[in-house]
Amino acid sequence: MIYFSMGYWVLALALIVSFAGAACGLACIRQSTKSVTQRFRLVWLVVAAVSIGGVGVAMPIFVSMLGFDVRGSQLRYDNLSITLFSVLSAATVLVALLVSGKKVVWWRLLVAAAVMAFGFGDVHQLLLGAIRIQGSVERSLVSTVAVYVIAFVLSALTLWFSLWVASVPMVLFGALLYAIMVTGMHYAGLTGLQVHVDPAATAPHGNILFNFFVPFFIIGTLSLAIPITAILVAPDRREGRAPTATTDPQVAHGTSLQAASQQAAAQQGLRRPESVR
């Protein structure tokens, strides 16, 4: 097997895509805490799930698979498995975000992390199961367990970051850590594959990966552009609802005295008697 048949730039691109998806998703979760209605909060969480799960997990794994190749055999992928792979990754994150809630409650955080981890692990196994070659493909039990363990740590840290981190530098640090762990999870499972090429076997059915990649990359890029634009133009509702007038009592008292003195002077001017010739 060859993991970087197209060069190491594939790995770099996967890290960049995962970082962008995670950073955008964490920023959307931060915006959801400022929503004054449950409906707008749900909208932000859906966008965050698409960014974290779809762009942050599915797309970088998809990109890194461009460098995967098998000597002596054609490589094809099952259509249904690839479609479910891209949809379930975002749905899993949305369920985990709804379970974790708005505040750090440890038992809810652990349950949400378990849901998210099993979703990520199942999604990755679904992708590996979609591989079709001229022969057979087997998966190692050790690598499969490693995928789920890394996915649980990744999920717990991501949910904790989403509930605790507010500063932009920490959000970027969390996104970088997320990208590294997603890439590590993928290659932990990929290196456990065992392929057995049989020249006498029939040619595999399915599509080449590049046929999925073009529409998948376009949809992923658009799904990032929309929330980034929304974050840039979204008003801070908490600041918008804050009073704009000054509340300093000394300033207010001084202003009222000045207004009263001006009013008294005006009245005295009106009551001034006419001069006698």
Structure confidence by residue, pLDDT tens digits, 182-226 = 999 999 999 888 888 888 778 888 888 888 877 777 887 777 777
In the numeric block, the tokens 């730039």 are attached to 9
Give the residue, 40 or 234, on which the prediction is more confident.
40
Range(s) of the domain holding residue 168: 9-240
Tell me the angle at which helices 79-100 and 38-49 cross, rounded to the nearest 10 degrees: 140
Query: Does the pLDDT of residue 263 top 60, yes or no?
Result: no
pLDDT tens, position by position, 10-23: 999 999 999 999 99
- Assess if residue 251 is contained within a domain: no
The answer to whether residue 246 scores a pLDDT higher than 90 is no
Query: Does 70 reside within a domain?
Result: yes
Start-end of H helices in 37-78: 38-49, 59-64
Q: What's the N-to-C CA distance of the chain in angstroms?
A: 117
CA 237-239-244 angle, to 5 degrees, is 130
- Distance CA(158)–CA(25), nearest Å, equals 10
The answer as to whether 272 is a domain residue is: no
Examine residue 153 and state whether it is found in any structural domain, yes or no: yes
pLDDT confidence of 273, banded at 50, 70, 90? very low
Q: 260 in a domain, yes or no?
A: no
Residue 256 within a domain:
no
Torsion sign, CA atoms 147, 150, 152, 157: negative
- Summary mean pLDDT of the chain: 80
Say if 268 falls within a structural domain: no
pTM of the model as a whole: 0.78
Residue 250 in domain = no
